[in-house]
Amino acid sequence: MPAARGGSGGSPLAGPRVALITGGASGIGLATAERLRRDGLSVALADIDAAGLWGNKGAAIYSASKGGVTVLSKALAVELAARGVRVNVVYPGDVDSPMIRYQAETFGGGDPEAYLRDLLAAYPQKPARFIRPDEVAELIAFLCSERATPITGAAISIDFGLTAGY
């Protein structure tokens, strides 16, 4: 998520900035775009998931492409740091969205509720629940703010600890 540092003003996000938002297909992109537009940012959307942190069975090429985005972002963070541009990647876990319900219907073997329960059972933090799009949007907004100036080149998971063991 590149966030260019910009001028001054009343907003903590003042100045010309562009944010590349993750999770465009899961509701996160829309929630984040709405949150950042309130602070005057221009927003571009993309979609990425935690497959960039580990391999998924049956999805080697997909996982490799997502992992490539992680390394590309780290390389861009180094290349653009002197210009004051910060580049970070946000990896959300399962988001409470139409996409997760579609997955449950499609891959749940006729029992979408059991599919969702199985996903939640893997979360170490209890009580388990799916992440809300606005929670991811707030993290991204923070990363675009001046308070996060020292954070660049990071791949940050927001997933109740799901990826901590990988």
Residue numbers annotated as active site: 62
Task: Please name the helix (run of DSSP H) or strand (run of DSSP E) that holds residue 2, with its range, or none.
Answer: strand 2-4
Decide if 133 contacts 30 (C-beta within 8 A): yes
Cα–Cα distance measured from residue 1 to residue 43, given in angstroms and rounded to the nearest whole number: 10
Closest CA to 18 of 50, 49, 40: 40
